[in-house]
Chain A
């Protein structure tokens, strides 16, 4: 990995110094252990805190649409400056898909692409190399990772702690960016439908039982929805009280309604960044649902979201030769 932190920080400082940029969202060291926090940078001092490492799992593209806008006081002008965001390959697909859907416009953002050799699964890492209160540094090291903690260096094999989403990743290099940092990485062989086949292999009853057990754990914190860069409806069906589409009661029926609603809304839109699965406090394997729908859309319609900023949005396009075998 040829990612040069100096170059990253210098670029970030240049970007935030621009008159047309409001702030930049990047990754910075977290408060303890393996944690990395999103960093909102407005000046050179902030840029000097930015990092890019195998611990930078979060997809920051979600902050492009998560902005809460209050009414502008009379006499004040709206701040129309751009927001800059640092993206890995998978994250860049979210930006691309947002552009496709007109969730954001190209000229509202400055996208800084970081080619990514794959990030770690913090839980796997903590299981094998217990997390301590000390902050650590982590680097890509040839084929694997290097963990630096308290003056000690530990080499970790790639396969040991690589995040599942990265095992399945087909786009390690940003597919869309305004500024690219470092050299592209060589994509690796993936088994893109792993996990999906495991679920498909079950018969209907087994599958129902499997998902019943999973959805039963859901606490409806909506962290999956909120972290998702493509769940950005201003007025979400889940928050509606009149009419109440999904009841507030937490039970299998409502939990299932919620999870199915979210999965279907993401069909042909999910870019497989794996954030929903990472943040779920109940460890529900949400990636399997989303990848299943992604595969259906890919197989049936030949559409893959978030790879071409000039594509037509899948759910809003019609082709005369679309298969319709599900219509009775």
Chain B
């Protein structure tokens, strides 16, 4: 078993893949903080930048740290993740949409 593990490190990452993921994550995190702390962008633009950077960083973490990929061995994991992500988007998007409309109709803001 031991030699099988050592030989087959494709789905478990390697020092270089962890380091690449780490460097990408650091760059994206610094970009997020810079987008807000430098006040270079308008609040709307900064929020859009934060969203894009967060999504990209989540993908980086999934690929380099959680080793999620499109190989057949991972297809069920990927399928479940896509379903969960879709559910989360519906929950958050739907909640914001409905509660925003309610707030406007009730003139509560």
Task: Say if A and B assemble together.
Answer: no
Taking beta carbons and an 8 Å cutoff, which residues of A are in contact with B? Answer: none
